[in-house]
Structure formats: structure tokens, C-alpha cells
Amino acid sequence: MKKFLKFCMRFVFALLILALLATPLYLIYRISNDEIQNYNQPEQLIFVESAFGQPIQATREDVAEKIHVSGVFVPVERYDMELKGWGLDQIRWSVDPGAEVTEGQVLGLLRGSEIQSPVNGIVVSLNNYGSKPYVRFRLVEPIELECHVDQQILEDLRASDGLRTKAGEAVSLQSVSITRDLEGLTTVRLSVDSERYACGQGVSELELRTGVVFQKALVLPVSCVYQKTPGADEPWYAREVTKDGTLVGEIEVKPGYSDGKKVCVTGPQEGHYYDSGYGSMAGGGQ
């Protein structure tokens, strides 16, 4: 009997020990199971590429072909005043070469007599020595616009018949230098049928219109188009985006005439939006 009671006590004790050991494991299992049941898998992240600039629609419009030039209005004709008399080496000049003078202005004195300018102009040289002494002037009228242009603008000027300013004044190419400067620019002179300009006056980005109009051309800002590799034969691209600037994809385009701000293109679809910032960032643009 005593042995049986001792056995029962050991059995109960063993059950208690087992219960004490199993309870934490059970609790861990329940907590882990509840966490698994309650775990919400996060939504899949979607990366969206956006435009680098403002989305701009491809539109159709009439585009007038333009040429922009900068330069200074310079005199065209010269006038030589012959100096006569004796003792011309004693003339006391009151002006220097480069001086702008008016008709009747005193140029110098010879034994108390005034030597006056016969014209309005710029003094080029004062030569009172030698067998044929003279004063050379560059007349202030007529004048021409002297510009330094690159090869493309030179070709455009030569090919254009009937150039006019934005105000409608006739412009014509008068002369082209046979040499280029160190920057590859050629000096040209243009006559401008206008009384708005004076000798010595400079103009910047004077707009000349050739008379050619590209009607209902599909256009984009030049900042929309770009090349991946620079080169005349390399393709051009544009990035199509949604109205809110989300990237749709890259398309190949063929640029045509550009006025420096907009470019005529084929390839894009009218009304679709294109990234106006990527071309500048990629070093493109017409």
C-alpha cells in the first residue's frame, strides 16, 4: 500500500513538472500563431518614374522661319578731302583719327586759317605729308549692319531671298568676308532699309524673317528632344509622359527647323504630353 501511494505521488509530481515545462511552450506557440494570423503582408511597392520638367503637349502651329543676328551698324562709304597749299606740315590738328565730326567742324589750323570738315563722318586718317596730303573720312550715312556669323547662319543668309525684320523692313546681304576668325565666324554686312538705326549702334539677336512659313507644323520645345550620342547622323528622342508627369516611354523623333525655342518634329502624337526637362538635363535640345 505504501509503495502504491509513493508511486502515485511520484506520478503526480511528474505530471506537475511536465505541466510546468509544457505551459510556456504552449503559450509561445499560441502567441506566435496569433501573430501569424494577424500579420498583414505589406502592399507591393511600385516605383514610378516622373518627368524632369513640365509636361508639354505637342501642338500644331504655323512656324515662320527666322534668322537671328547680332552686330554693329558701321559706315559704308569713305570721302577723301585733298589738302592744298604750302607748309602743310605746320597744321595743328584739333581732332584725332577715330573722331566723329560734323560738316563745318574745325579739324585744325594752318597759319591762322581753319581747316573745316566738308562732311558728316568719322575721321579715318590725317595725312598732311607726302605728295598728296589728305584727310580721309568714313561717312556716317549710309550704314550697314556688320555681323560675325557661323557657317549655318551664313548659308541661311545666302539662301534667303527677301529677308525682312520683324517690323517688315527689307534686309539684304551686301558683302561676305573671304576669311574666318579664330572662332570660325565670318564677317558679313547687311543693309537694313530703316531710319531707326544710327552709325555705331549695336543690336543683339535682331530677328530676320525669310518669308518661309511651315504651316500647321507639329512642334515641341527644344528642351523636349535630345540625343544619347552627339552626331549629325545619330537619332533624336523624346520622353512621352502623362498629363501629371508620369513617364510613359521613350520615342524616337525626327527634328526639322528650329527657331531656337521650338522645333518642328515628326514622331510625337499631337495632343500627347512630353517631358520638357529631360532634353536639357541630357545635354540635348536643338
> Where exactly does CATH 2.40.50 map onto the chain?
77-139
Domain 55-64+214-281 is of which CATH architecture?
A: Beta Barrel (2.40)
Distance CA 256, CA 212 (A): 14
Whether the per-residue pLDDT at 102 is higher than 70: the answer is yes
Note the pLDDT of residue 15: 59
Mean local confidence (pLDDT), 6-21: 60
- Predicted model pTM: 0.62
What CATH class is the domain 66-73+142-213? mainly beta
Indicate the class that CATH gives domain 77-139. Answer: mainly beta
pLDDT of residue 133: 85
Residue at grid coordinates 505637342: 58
154-207 confidence digits (pLDDT tens): 999 999 888 999 999 999 999 999 999 999 999 999 999 998 998 889 999 999
Cell numbers describing residue 215: 504651316
Return the number of other C-beta atoms located less than 10 Å from residue 57's C-beta.
Answer: 13
**Residue intervals in the chain for CATH 2.40.420.20:** 55-64+214-281
Over residues 224-259, the pLDDT tens digits come to: 999 999 888 899 999 999 999 999 999 999 999 998
pLDDT digits (tens, 9 = 90+) for 26-38: 666 566 666 656 6
Amino acid 21: pLDDT: 61
Note the pLDDT of residue 99: 92
Note the helical H segments in the chain: 2-38, 151-159, 278-281
Q: Which residues of the chain are in CATH 2.40.30 domains? A: 66-73+142-213
User: Which residues does residue 206 pair with via DSSP β-bridges, in sequence order?
Assistant: 69
Q: What is the pLDDT of residue 127?
A: 84
Q: For 13, phi and psi rounded to 5 degrees?
A: -65, -40
For cell 605746320, the residue is: 90
**DSSP tally for the chain: helices H, then strands E:** 3, 19
Q: Taking Cα atoms as reference points, which of 72, 107, 21, 93 lies closest to residue 188?
A: 72
Which three three-digit cell numbers place residue 13? 509530481
Give the other-Cβ count within 10 Å of 255's Cβ: 20
